[in-house]
Amino acid sequence: MTNRTKARLSQRIADLHASPIREILSVLNQPGMVSFAGGLPSPESFPPCDLSAVPAEFLQYGASEGELALRSQIASDMHDIGLPCEPSQVLVLSGSQQGIDLVAKLFIDPGSLVALEHATYLAALQVFRFFGARFSRLQALLEAQDDAMQVPKLTYVIPTFQNPSGYCMTAAERDALAQACDRTGTVLFEDDPYRDFVYEPCERNPVCARLDRASWVYQGSFSKTLAPGMRLGFLVASPDLMPYLVRLKQAADLHSNRISQWWVLQQLQDPARHARTQALAQNYRVKRDNFSSYLDHYFKDLASWHVPQGGLFFWLKLKQTLDTRKLLPLALEQQLAFMPGEAFMPEPTAGTGQIRLNFSHATADQTEAGLARLAEVFRRALQACA
């Protein structure tokens, strides 16, 4: 780009950084590549996609809020998970990533404080940074006892099978978070794309359902349970926020893809839906257990980790605090991909020694061979630093 064009870019473009995950995804299609990097569902998990019955009227423009039948179904699903709401509180999204964008537009000015988990979903950080957010620790919000603290405008959390850590908040932690939001008046933004992938009994009731006063947004995704290519998610919000969110959605893309909405509704109303989701979770449980035993075998001397109770990721802490971004090119040379932990950190860091590994996408054979080779990459790097 010429300097003349550069001078015409908006000031906020200075805060627009490439998403590390999208850049890694671009090399993943190379033949022979084994990826533990993205949060990709297993390709065998996609339901059949027969669009021959889509009514012709779905080719027309639709409502910004989304199809009423889909919104009603989502409201009914919300009731079932303990977050009762009206269909009027549901906004269909073009992927739940859009929810992050809309909520950021609604709350974040340059310098606005956003409380979040350290580490957190890297593409949420990308959006929040773009709008100029400053970050504070969730812990500081939980510990705030008086008016002395600067109240974050927004609190962004992934309480259930967190990305990247896989952690699932206990009932007491959820209560404490809801109380902190009520006490301080920060707006709670709960992101919940992994809740259906549960492998051990654990608390999953939304934190938003525990609020008495604070405004809130809860969002879910159809990417992991159905198909990410459909680009469909949803948010549910406290009624005070809905008019703004609907207008932001209008301005962003008029409405989400109606063919995707039709297809997703068929899937949600399929009598076999719950059996299918359970079978998928069971399949991922097996993948998690296999991954866990290969990690025990190949990584025991290199790293420590907790076996996640759900979700799609292992979060490893290497025995040395390296900058794992430097190890990524070495892994890619061996046709292996992982996510460096530094990408999930709200503050710049010299190195965390943490990595995120996805276990849903690779086949069993790829997993064993890939983890064996990845361990060698890390072993050599750790020896070089010792």
Ligand X SMILES: Cc1ncc(COP(=O)(O)O)c(C=O)c1O
Q: Which residues bind ligand X (CB under 6 A)?
A: 39, 95-97, 121, 158, 163, 191, 193, 221, 223, 228, 233
Q: Closest separation between CB of residue 361 and ligand X, Å?
A: 12
Question: Which residue's CB is nearer to ligand X, number 158 or number 178?
Answer: 158
Q: How many helical (H) and strand (E) elements, i.e. helices and strands, does the chain have?
A: 12, 13
Question: Which residue's CB is nearer to ligand X, number 191 or number 196?
Answer: 191
Question: Which residue's CB is nearer to ligand X, number 39 or number 346?
Answer: 39
Q: Closest separation between CB of residue 375 and ligand X, Å?
A: 25
Question: Which residue's CB is nearer to ligand X, number 98 or number 294?
Answer: 98
Q: Give the N- to C-terminal CA distance of the chain in Å, as an integer.
A: 43
Question: Which residue's CB is nearer to ligand X, number 221 or number 260?
Answer: 221
Backbone angles phi, psi at 378, to 5 degrees: -70, -40
Question: From the CB of residue 45, how many other CB atoms can be counted at a distance below 10 Å?
Answer: 18
Question: Which residue's CB is nearer to ligand X, number 160 or number 352?
Answer: 160
Q: Closest separation between CB of residue 305 and ligand X, Å?
A: 19
Q: Closest separation between CB of residue 340 and ligand X, Å?
A: 16
Which residue has the closest beta carbon to ligand X?
95
Question: Which residue's CB is nearer to ligand X, number 43 or number 243?
Answer: 43
Are 160 and 169 spatial neighbours (Cβ–Cβ below 8 Å)?
yes
- DSSP letter, residue 35: E
Backbone angles phi, psi at 354, to 5 degrees: -115, 150
Q: Closest separation between CB of residue 271 and ligand X, Å?
A: 25
Sheet holding 354-358, edge to edge: 303-304, 313-318, 354-358, 339-340
Q: Which letter, b or e, does each residue of 184-193 get, where b requires 16 or more Cβ atoms within 10 Å of its Cβ?
A: bebbbbbbbb
Q: Closest separation between CB of residue 191 and ligand X, Å?
A: 5
SS3 318: strand
Indicate the length of the chain as a whole number: 386
d(CA 94, CA 105): 16
d(CA 328, CA 378): 10
Q: Closest separation between CB of residue 148 and ligand X, Å?
A: 31
Which residue bears the tokens 């703004």?
244
